[in-house]
Amino acid sequence: MTHASAASTRPRPTGKKKPRLPLLTILAFSGCFCLVGLGVSYDMAGVAPFNAAVGSAVASLRGDLDGVMAFFTAIGDPPGMLLIALAFAAVLLAQGHGRDAAFFCVAVVSGVVFAHLLKLFFAVERPAASYLVAPPEPFSFPSGHAVASAIVFGLVGYFVCRLVADAGKPRAWGVAACAVCAACALLIALSRVYMGVHWPTDVLGGWLFAGAWLALSIGVHRRLFARRTA
């Protein structure tokens, strides 16, 4: 049998290869998070001026935006995030995506718990004065509100895009959903600086951690549940 005929009789692999994990993205976000964490832990040059400049700029907006910021900071509280996460998990279940609902819940809970452990590790003290709300737990880096809102709304946007694609709807629907999710996460995070309970670097660290966690979670989900074609 010739090499050509032997090659032709070999079974050809079916389906698409599983997507690779976005390791560079995960490492980039993780590395930047570690750098910010070291900066705030050791009070490196540039951290205090950055916090002072951004914090003052946000604080200058106090007054007219009090109601809006109080609303978004309340949404970002644990009960609000839990309600949103459970509601979206219920939507996934109703659409027949039980595995996605389970994965969504595990990714959210594990990410929030990991971020809380990091907060205890870095042990960064909160700003001395708060505005409109009572000061929460003593440590502030990374911001729990920034982490939770970015992970929850980030995964909501990801799964909505998948639902839109599966339903054959216009891609613009998914883009619009992602824009709304991003705006909510942004306002929740900024509201914590507005309320004076977080340094700007706390929010920055929260976003960086959430970025790494989202990249990891979405990468794992795509590998576990990659669509296969015959």
* Within-domain flag for 7: no
What pLDDT shows up at residue 59?
84
* Within-domain flag for 153: yes
* Within-domain flag for 93: yes
* Within-domain flag for 174: yes
State the total domains in the chain: 1
pLDDT tens digits for range 41-84: 888 878 888 888 888 888 888 888 888 999 999 999 999 999 99
pLDDT tens digits for range 85-127: 999 999 999 988 999 999 999 999 999 999 999 999 998 888 8
* Within-domain flag for 8: no
Spatial contact of 133 and 195, defined as CB atoms under 8 Å apart: yes
Distances in whole angstroms, Cα of residue 32 to Cα of each of 27, 124, 197, 208, 213: 8, 17, 23, 7, 13
* Within-domain flag for 159: yes
What pLDDT shows up at residue 223?
87
pTM of the model: 0.86
Q: For tokens 């970002």, name the residue.
A: 76
* Within-domain flag for 144: yes
For 38, the domain range is 21-224
* Within-domain flag for 86: yes
